[in-house]
Amino acid sequence: MKIIECSCSRFIHIYPSDNGKCPFCDSPIKESNDIDDQFAEPLSFLDAKVSQIDDIYMSSASNRVAVLSLIDEVLEWPQRSGEIFWRKLLVEQNCKSDLELLRKGKLLQNSTAFENAMEYANDNERLAYSLIKETEDSVAKLLDAALEKEFDDKRKTVAGNLLVAYEQKFSEAEKSAQDAIARLEEVEKSIRELVIDCTAVADEYKHTLNSIYSNVLRISGKHKTEISSEDKNEWETELDVLLAASNSEIDKLKHVISIDQRFTEYSVLVNKQKSIASEVNGHISNINYLRSQIQITVSAIERITNDYAEAGKAVNNGSYAPAASFLSQARFDEIIKQAMSPE
């Protein structure tokens, strides 16, 4: 890890993972542009300790405890260096380069190690640290903007298309149900009117049939434990006459029903009533389904709103992970690149 003045005029840290190129402009690094950040005598021996820190940490991030212990040893000496605090910052955040810092989150705003690095930095170091801070702020702003656009696009897709479509279908289903109910009410009104007319016609025959039924009951009331042959023959004759009279009235009623248009119309209207009632039930089922879909969609919109609000809050609180999960990896990489690109 060392500071280089790149051809893009930036003072930057170079790490093994950068592969000899500037992470900001991708230009090859010229070793002649190294910035001397070595400890001055009589503490020059600490340079070897710093190299040891780099070798151990860059070889394996699992050596964090050992590296932090070595950093603390260097910090025990009175001559402070911004670079040793920057190394402490990287180890604390489990990052091996400035680029990892920028990709991981907004980590500098509440970092004591960063504050100390800035405090003890020389001019060149301060330029390098300020560049990372400015880039970090830019990444956060770009992520906020990308989240807002992504949220608007998703909300429009759901609310502007799906919800509107469901609401339109719901309105249409309500109107269809209302129209069907109105038709059903008209049919039932006509049925009630026909029932009155048909009942009046049937009542004439009903009266005769009731009279016959009364006579049948009268004869049945004459029962005895033992009856004579004369009584039996007499009662059977009376019952045969009553049965014939009853059948005659029923035949007359059936004939009237078959020729009277009101009875025919009644049957037609009853079938129509059943058909329209089935149609109404179908519309009601559709309305209930659409109502449930609207509620599901509204809940989805609320969930999207809450999720994106939490992602935006996380960005400002230091974590890019929720925002990156909503954006594609390509879009997230593009935002990092955009924030690091030369103006």
> What one-character-per-residue DSSP string does 128-147 give?
HHHHHHHHHHHHHHHHHHHH
Query: For residue 65, what pLDDT is reported?
Result: 84
* The one-letter amino acid at 289: Y
Give domain limits for the chain. Answer: 2-136, 144-332
- Over residues 43-72, mean pLDDT: 76
Of 128-132, 171-175, 314-318, least confident by mean pLDDT is: 314-318
Q: What is the pLDDT of residue 263?
A: 82
pLDDT value at position 253? Answer: 76
Region of 179 (left: φ > 0; alpha: ψ -120 to 50; beta: rest) is alpha
Looking at 118-127, 213-222, 265-274, which range is the least confident one?
Answer: 213-222
State yes or no: pLDDT of 266 exceeds 80.
Answer: yes
Q: For 276-336, give the DSSP string.
A: HHHHHHHHHHHHHHHHHHHHHHHHHHHHHHHHHHHHHHHHHHT--HHHHHHS-HHHHHHHH
- Mean pLDDT throughout 307-333? 86
Residues 47 and 55: beta-carbon distance below 8 Å: no
- The residue among 278 and 148 whose pLDDT is bigger is 278
Residue 177 CA to residue 284 CA, distance in Å, equals 7
Contacts of 86 (CB under 8 A, 6+ apart): 13, 113, 114, 117, 125, 129
Is the confidence at residue 43, as pLDDT, over 60?
no
Contact 219, 239 (CB under 8 A): yes
Give residue 292's identity as a one-letter amino acid code. S
Q: Which residue has the tokens 């699992």?
A: 62
- The pLDDT score that the predictor gives to residue 303 is 82
The tens digit of pLDDT for each residue in 184-205 reads: 999 999 999 888 888 888 777 7
More confident residue, 282 or 35: 282
Indicate if the pLDDT at residue 46 is higher than 70: no
* CA distances (Å), origin 182, targets 44, 176, 281: 97, 10, 14
Exposure string over 279-290, b if 16+ CB within 10 A, otherwise e: bbeebeebbeeb
Q: 111 φ, ψ to 5°?
A: -95, 120
Q: Chain-wide mean pLDDT for the chain?
A: 84
Predicted confidence at residue 37, as pLDDT, reads: 60
Higher pLDDT, 222 or 18: 18
Which tens digit of pLDDT belongs to each residue from 225-235? 667 777 778 77
In Å, how far are 13, 20, 81, 134 from 35, measured between CA atoms?
Answer: 10, 15, 14, 21
In this structure, of 4-18, 80-94, 148-162, 239-253, the range with the lowest mean pLDDT score is 148-162
